Every structure is written in C-alpha cells, then in structure tokens.
Amino acid sequence: MSSRGGSGGVGGGSKRSGRGPRGRVGGGSTNSRSSHYRPRRGRERSPPPPQPPPGQPGRECHRPCVAIGADVYVVKKNDQRTGKETRGEVSRLLTKSAYHPRGIKVMLVDGEVGRVTRFPGDSAAAAATTTVVPKGRNNKTSKKRSLSDYLTEEGVDENLSRVVKAAAEASSQVAKELRNLSLLGDVEERGGNVNVQGEVQKGMDVRANAIFLQKLKPFVAAMVSEEEEGIVAGGAITKQPSEEKYCIAFDPLDGSSNLDVAAPTGSIFGIYQTFQAPARQSLVAAGYAVYSSATELVLAGVGENVVGFTLDAEDNLFRCSRPNIVCPERGPYYSLNEAREPDWPDGLRQWITDAKRGQTPSGIKYSARYVCSLTPDVHRTLLKGGWAGNPRPHLRLLYEAAPLAFIMEAAGGGGSDGVSNLLDIEPTSLHDRVCCFLGSKLDIEDLESYGNVQQSSSSMNHDTYDRACQINTQQHTLFITSYPFHIGDAMILQPNKSMIVVDAPADQGRFF
C-alpha cells in the first residue's frame, strides 16, 4: 500500500508529509476533515490590523474603519434614490465587520439608521443636500423652537405668556384624550346636559371644557366657554389693579359631532382685555388647535407673524413648524354646507354658481372642500386660500368668529359677517351668534360685492342676556341684572383695561 493515504495517521506515518489532491496538506483520503484546519508548516498567522482610537476613522490603517463615536456620512433607506447624506456620530454598529467603511450599516446618536458613504475628510466640500445631525440631539426637532422659547424670544408680556401656555397645555391634554377615545368605548357617551346653545353635550365636550377651565383658571380674571352659561371667575382676579389682567373666551371642542368617525376637530380661544368692546379694541391674542393627523396650534398676537406649532409626541411640547403663516390673497376653494342651498339668499347662491364656472371677478374656477368642523376648514383656508364659513347666524362671536377673524386678518386675510368686519361688531351678550365668512382678503371682498349673502340677521335674540351674564364663584354668585353691567348700585369700571366690581362687599370684588 502506498505511504499516502495509509492507516497510520496523516501522511501514512511518513516523517514527511506530502500534498494530497487539490493541494491539501498531509495527503491521505480526500474525505479527511482534519486536514482542512491544519495550517501550512513553517508559516505563522499574520497579526490583526491595529484598532484605531475610539471616535477616530482610523486613517493610519490601510483600510479605515468605522468605530463607535466616529463622525461619518450615511445615506438612510428613504434617501437612497436621491442620495441625500446625513452626517452624524455613530452610536452603534449594525454590521459585523467594521473594516469595510463603505456600506457599513450604523445607527447614529439620533436613532437614524443608514449605510456609511464617506468620512468628513473624503470631500473638501459637503454636498448641498447634506443634513448635519448635532451630537446627542434629535435631528427632527433640533432646529424647532418650543412654544415657551418662542414667547420668550418675542418678548411677550409675562401674564399673557402664561395664559397662552396654559391654553396650549389644555389643547395638548385634549389631544391626548382624543387619541384614546375610541379605545375607551365612550365616543358616543353623553354629557347628560343640554348646554346654553341648546346642544346635547357629549362626554368629551364636558371633559374638554373641564380641562380648559382647570388649566386656565390660575392665569385669567374671567372665562367664557361655549359649555358654560355665564362668566366663570378666574384665579387672577385678586391681582393688583396696576397689573395687566386678561379674560379668555373659548370653544373647548369644536366639531364634536365628528368624534364618532374620527374626523378632525379643534379648539378655539380668544384672549381679551374686556368682553364689552369690539374685538378690534379688546382682543389681544387668539389661537386655535387642530386635532388631526398631527396636532397643530396656530397663534396670532404673540409676535410679528401668525405662527404655527406642532405637538411633539416625544416630549409633549409644541414646537414651531410654521414660523410665518400668510393667507393667500385668493384661493381655489370655498367651504360651506351645500345641503343648505335651498335656504341660501340670492347673493350667496349666485356667487357659488359663478364660482363653479370660473365667472367670479377673480376668474378662478373654485372647488368645494368641507369637513363640517369649523377649525379644520379654517385651517385649510388659512394655508391654501379661498373662504370658509356659514351664512346662517350660527357661530358664536366671542369664542369662534372673532378669534378666527383676528388670526385671518393678522395673516393677511379677512373675516366678515357678509356686511361688516367681524372685528368691528360690538358684542351684546356672551353667546352672540353671527354669520361668518373667513378667508382670503380678495375672495371675501368679492363675496361681499354680490350683496345679500346673509341667510338672516347677524345677531341672536338678547332676551336671555341677563341670565348669560351670571358670574359664578365658589363662595357666592353675582348677577348682572342689566346692561351696561350694573350689580344693584355697584358699577363695573375699566381701570387698566380690565373691569372691576366696585362698591360691593369686599369679598365680592372681582376683576373680569
């Protein structure tokens, strides 16, 4: 038998091992497994390449490596088509070998995942599309100011800033409740009461109202809500007369009839110096929140621009997402309930007919957009142009029509009841109702030029005014018995743009 492949072990017991088939060391049977793992004699393993210091690309190596802490450019999966690069610090290696830098899958400190394309030193100038991720910060929100920062930078009055932030907190809490409403199984839950508007309250109407009252009470002198019959005293009524005090009127949940189909809803609020004067003289700031695919908060009166914020779900903060909202002078949409067409006045009917055919003064062929929730309809109109409204005297002046008109006008648009500017209408009761058209300035002017666009009178009957102006406090109840706001022999004055009850018992003096 040949010495190769003998039974005496590898090499058949020969002192000198020969080569087997295909260069195997030790010859022998081609099925011998042990020969595959035996290194050639006289040769040693080469040492592994040196590891670079942490955070360094390792340019001293013949092949640069990616290490935790390295500064790299990556292309995320969603950016592969465009080739957009993102720069950041590596927090985790997702590929076993880090010695092939091009294509290594890594996670950056902001949680983004991508494949390494190059190191900063590979190119003298970064591409224009490169996004730099600051170390240790989330790129999605790193450049977005919070609402609190925005108010501070804009130099907003401290007391006003507190009221705005409290309204924002209330909106955030309502948004949280709405996200889980369907899971709780109480979308159709009734509040058990009929509010002052004659509407049956839903459970969420009641909860949203309670949230706004709780959040706002410490910072305002008085509150008016769609869900409350009279004025609710706030916690700021005990402040010194020399301090600026604010009142607030709000609709805590606009469009609650849409809750059972998960359609967009909203909240509206106006911050006043007094409820006795037209909004142009008394309204200081206004805002609304839209609860939809995102929760957006739009504010006017807290800076030079109308500004929009988006609720960041990670830290529950509103962050600036629309720093300068401008309403287009004209737009392609109108928004109202066309099922009411048989009741429309002639002027409105003619405008709608002409708009569909492109025969209005603008020459635009309009399309209809209607959510049946005022806040989302107005939000779309503010951004896209056109107008949204209701020709019936249905919307409440203090906490719906006037605040939204204030925002529209600040953004370059306008608000009208079909005849007069909504900001110039003097309120005669807390729950005044008006016709309302809000939107692009030129579209509103065109609509008014048709004449006869109001379905009926722009104001409701005021017989129940005394009842609506009841002031509720925990200790006692004050009744305003007649206009202009007398309480027995006590008279309400307006020092420092606020109202105070004088000549009443000391414990009943209230600013509102």
Average pLDDT over residues 385-413: 97
Beta carbons within 8 Å of 401's beta carbon, 6+ residues apart: 395, 415, 417, 422, 434, 436, 438
Q: Tell me how far apart the terminal alpha carbons of the chain are, to the nearest angstrom.
A: 115
pLDDT at 32: 47
Tell me the whole-structure pTM to 2 decimals.
Answer: 0.66
Q: What is the pLDDT of residues 183-235, one digit of tens each?
A: 876 655 555 566 666 667 788 999 999 999 999 999 999 999 999 989 999 98
Most confident by average pLDDT, 5-14, 29-38, 276-285? 276-285
Q: What is the pLDDT of residues 132-143, one digit of tens each?
A: 444 444 444 455
Reply yes or no on whether the pLDDT at 463 is more than 80.
no
How many other β-carbons are positioned within 10 Å of the β-carbon of residue 354? 17
Ordered DSSP codes for 107-146: EETTS-EEEEEE-GGG-SS--TT-EE--TTS-TTTTTPPB
Average pLDDT over residues 281-285: 97
Higher pLDDT pick, 401 / 99: 401
- The answer to whether the beta carbons of residues 18 and 11 sit under 8 Å apart is yes
